[in-house]
C-alpha cells in the first residue's frame, strides 16, 4: 500500500503563467509554499508525467500530480491558552475565537492555534479532519473574531458538516467597511474562485467560481464608513471580504483585498462572526449563540460615534 496520497489537478486558463509553487499553494488548502517547494525539489510533483522545477510556469491544460506523504505522527501539542467557551457538552463545544488566533495548525506552524488550546481543554475531539485539524467543522480567518462550533465526536462532526453543506446553519457577521452604503439592505450574488493573478487571493470569478450569496443590512453610518450586518447564504473562502470589495465597500483593515491605510491602527480586517445558529447534531435542539465584537472593534466604533457627535454640535 502506498504511503503517499496523490492529488491530480488540471490547470485551466486562470492558472496560465502562474509559477508552479504558487499555483499549488492556491489549490491545495493548508499546504504552505515552503512545504510544496520541498515536494517539488524532491520530485514528488509531476507536470504532464515529468518532474519539473519550482519556477515552472503553468500552461492551460497541464496535468499535475502531487504526492503528499502521510502525516507524520501527531506533533500538535496541547497548550494552556485561555478559551472563551459559550457552550459545551459531550458532543460539541462552541467558542468565541479572538482576533489574531489561527484556527488550526499547518505544516511548520503547530503552536498557538485554537486547536492547541482545545486539545488542552478537551482531548476528545473528532478525528475526521486528521491530526492537524481535529474537530474543526468550519473556520474563520486569523484576524476575524467570533463564534465557532467544534465537534467532539465523529457523529457530531458528520451531522454538522451536512448542515454546513446544505447551508442550513445561520451565520451572521458584523463588519466596518469604507464608504457610506445608501441602501438599507441588499443582497450580493456573485461566484467566487481563485484570483488568476494571485492564487492566494479569492475574487469574483464568473467563469470558474462557485456560487456565492451574501445578504447585508446597514446598522450605522458614519462619515466615510458603514457598520453592516452580513448573513452568509453560502460559505466560500473570504466571501464577505470579496463581495464587499466588489460592491465598492471594502472592509477596514483588510490588507489582502484593499490597500487603503487603516487610520485606526487595528491590524487585520474589522470582521466579527457574532451569531451562529444550528441544530444540535445529536439532540435535534435548535441552538443559537451570539457575542459582541472585541474591545478594539468597539473602540473604533466609539471613536466614529464621538466624531459624528462633534460634527453635529
Instruction: State residue 235 phi and psi, 5-degree precision.
Output: -135, 55
Task: Give the whole-angstrom CA distance, residue 152 versus residue 137.
Answer: 10
- Alpha-helical (H) ranges within 114-223 are 114-121, 154-165
Residue 191 burial by CB count (10 A; 0-12/13-18/19+): exposed, middle or buried? Answer: middle
The two beta strands, 192-195 and 198-204, are: antiparallel
Alpha-carbon separation of residue 280 from 88, 147, 161 (angstroms): 11, 15, 12
Let me know if 141 is a catalytic residue: yes
Which residue out of 21, 62, 91, 141 is catalytically annotated?
141
Per-residue cell: 150: 467544534
Q: What are the cell numbers at 43? A: 520530485
Q: Which of 113, 134, 144, 102 is nearest to 239 (CA)?
A: 144
Residues annotated as part of the active site = 141
Amino acid at each position: 500500500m502506498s504511503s503517499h496520497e496523490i492529488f491530480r489537478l488540471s490547470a485551466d486558463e486562470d492558472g496560465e503563467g502562474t509559477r508552479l509553487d504558487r499555483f499549488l499553494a492556491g489549490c491545495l488548502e493548508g499546504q504552505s509554499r515552503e512545504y510544496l517547494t520541498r515536494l517539488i525539489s524532491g520530485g514528488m510533483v509531476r507536470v504532464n508525467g515529468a518532474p519539473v522545477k519550482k519556477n515552472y510556469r503553468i500552461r492551460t491544460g497541464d496535468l499535475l500530480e502531487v504526492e503528499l506523504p502521510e502525516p507524520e505522527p501527531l506533533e500538535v501539542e496541547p497548550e494552556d491558552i485561555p478559551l472563551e467557551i459559550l457552550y459545551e457538552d459531550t458532543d460539541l463545544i462552541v467558542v468565541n475565537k479572538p482576533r489574531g488566533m489561527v484556527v488550526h495548525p499547518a505544516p511548520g506552524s503547530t503552536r498557538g492555534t485554537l486547536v492547541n488550546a482545545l486539545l488542552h481543554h478537551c482531548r476528545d475531539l473528532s478525528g475526521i479532519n486528521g491530526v492537524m485539524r481535529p474537530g474543526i467543522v468550519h473556520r474563520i480567518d486569523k484576524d476575524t473574531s467570533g463564534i465557532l462550533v467544534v465537534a467532539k465526536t465523529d457523529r457530531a462532526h458528520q451531522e454538522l458538516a451536512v448542515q454546513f453543506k446544505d447551508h442550513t446553519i445561520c451565520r451572521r457577521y458584523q463588519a466596518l467597511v469604507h464608504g457610506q452604503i445608501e441602501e438599507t439592505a441588499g443582497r450580493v450574488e456573485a461566484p467566487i474562485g481563485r484570483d488568476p493573478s494571485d492564487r492566494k487571493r479569492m475574487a469574483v470569478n464568473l467563469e470558474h467560481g462557485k456560487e456565492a450569496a451574501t445578504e447585508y443590512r446597514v446598522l450605522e453610518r458614519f462619515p466615510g464608513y458603514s457598520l453592516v450586518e452580513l448573513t452568509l447564504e453560502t460559505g466560500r473562502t473570504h466571501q464577505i471580504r470579496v463581495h464587499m470589495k466588489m460592491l465598492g465597500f471594502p472592509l477596514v483593515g483588510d490588507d489582502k483585498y484593499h490597500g487603503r491605510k487603516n487610520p485606526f491602527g487595528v491590524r487585520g480586517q474589522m470582521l466579527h462572526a457574532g451569531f451562529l445558529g444550528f441544530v444540535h447534531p445529536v439532540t435535534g435542539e435548535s441552538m443559537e449563540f451570539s457575542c459582541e465584537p472585541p474591545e478594539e472593534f468597539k473602540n473604533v466604533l466609539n471613536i466614529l460615534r464621538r466624531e459624528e457627535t462633534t460634527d453635529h454640535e
